[in-house]
Amino acid sequence: MKHLKQVSILLILLGVISLNNVFSQKRNSSLVAYYNFNQNVKDNSTYNNDGVVYGNPVYVEGIQGFGLDFDGVDDYVLIPNQDQLSLSDFSISVWVKWEGEPDAEGSWAIISNWTFGEYSQQYGLRMGTISTGLTENHGVFFYDDGSEWDWAYGIRNNISNNEWHNIIGVMKAGESAKVFIDGFLFETDSTSIPNIINPTSDLFIGRDGYGESGGQVERWNGVIDELRIYNCTLDYTEMNLNYETTLALYQGANVMINSDIDCTLYPNPTTNIVKIKVNNKDVFNVRVLDINGKLIINKDYNSNFSEVDLTSFAKGIYLFRISSDSYTKTFKVTKSN
């Protein structure tokens, strides 16, 4: 029995790796920079945008393999500016684990080419409260073509809780900018979206670029891993799958992704009510997202039979993510009226 359990876990792990590889292969051609921090800061895209280490950051356990641990004082990585880092449609994805004071107030740089100057052009990701008027730490995606500095932010109270989180910023040139936290869309901005950003300065990991926002934005205190920059807009399905599979790999594949668990959802299509049957006694969570990845329902259940009411929502496609401590399964549901 023990041997069978070990074989099952291995098969689950191989399945997760396979899913993750599908995602990677699909988008490898769009990567302009990729840093896995496996004991170096080399760029694993085809562009060789290798970094230069300053201070004494330490290679530690990451979300996949190794990650780079920054001390928040003088550690950072510099990536010289290159033509391919001028971007129009683009996405930035990173995994981070904060190691500073939980729920500290402020703003901390993750990746940035911010610099002083009225016409400076820049983009990047931060964690913090500055510039948003909120008190919770959250992921911030900023972008500026020299005409107006703007941002999208994802409110999530526990992003500074010393656990791994995935932050993704996505910009569609001239149309929209979105920020995703842990696989969910948290904000869409459609005002003053640049058509292209030609960075004024080099790119930094762990600090906020030249000038460092006049001391307002602090250096990162914690681990950064799996940093990717794409010259395309990732879609929600890709981001959600990548988040779930990466986290499952880190957890040792104890969470089964889209496995053949005894869980059913009906009717589908539906007019209003969706019924969920789970043949075990686990407390389970249901998250419902619209087709753009926006979280619209988040509720826990402790009954084998449950119902979700979509009456107040428009007709269309919805994603139901059903999860417990031992599994995660995603369904696509059509609301017909």
Contacts of 133 (CB under 8 A, 6+ apart): none
Residue 59: what pLDDT? 97
Least confident of 122-131, 194-203, 221-230: 122-131
Q: What is the pLDDT of residue 16?
A: 44
Reading the block at residue 148, the tokens are 């107006």
The sign of the CA dihedral 249, 252, 256, 259 is positive
Spatial strand order of the sheet with 122-128 comes to: 52-54, 76-79, 203-205, 107-112, 122-128, 138-144, 150-155
Q: Which are the contacts of 260, defined by CB distance < 8 A and separation ≥ 6?
A: none
Residues belonging to the chain: 337
User: CA-to-CA distance for 41 and 36, rounded, in angstroms?
Assistant: 8
Q: What is the pLDDT of residue 275?
A: 94
Q: What is the pLDDT of residues 64-74, one digit of tens each?
A: 889 999 999 99
Q: Is the pLDDT of residue 10 over 50?
A: no
CB atoms within 10 A of CB 54: 14
Q: Please give the C-alpha separations between residue 211 and each of 71, 76, 146, 215, in angstroms, as whole numbers.
A: 19, 14, 16, 8
pLDDT band at 254 (very low <50, low <70, confident <90, very high): very low
Q: What are the tens digits of pLDDT across the range 163-184?
A: 899 999 999 999 999 998 888 8
Average pLDDT, whole number, for the chain? 82
- d(C-alpha 271, C-alpha 312), whole Å: 11
CA distance 296 to 308: 11
Residue 18 has what pLDDT? 44
pLDDT at position 324 is: 78
Q: Which residue ranges form the domains of the chain, and what is each CATH number?
A: 31-238 (2.60.120.200), 258-335 (2.60.40.3080)
Q: Which range (40-44, 139-143, 293-297) has the least confidence?
A: 293-297
pLDDT mean over 260-282: 84
SS3 240: helix
- For the cut 90, the answer to whether the pLDDT of residue 303 exceeds it is no
- Euclidean distance between CA atoms 90 and 175, whole angstroms: 12
Q: CA geometry: angle at 124 spanning 61 and 59, to 5°?
A: 15
CB atoms within 10 A of CB 101: 11
List the single range of 54-63, 139-148, 222-231 with lowest mean pLDDT: 139-148
- The predicted structure's pLDDT at residue 42: 97
The predicted pLDDT at position 128 comes to 80
Judged by phi (left if over 0) then psi (alpha if -120 to 50, else beta), residue 312 lies in alpha
230 vs 289 pLDDT, higher one = 230
Write the pLDDT tens digit of every residue in 26-67: 577 899 999 999 999 999 999 999 999 999 999 999 998 899
Residue 320, beta-bridge partner list: 288, 331
pLDDT at residue 270 greater than cutoff 80: yes
Residue 70: strand pairing partners:
222
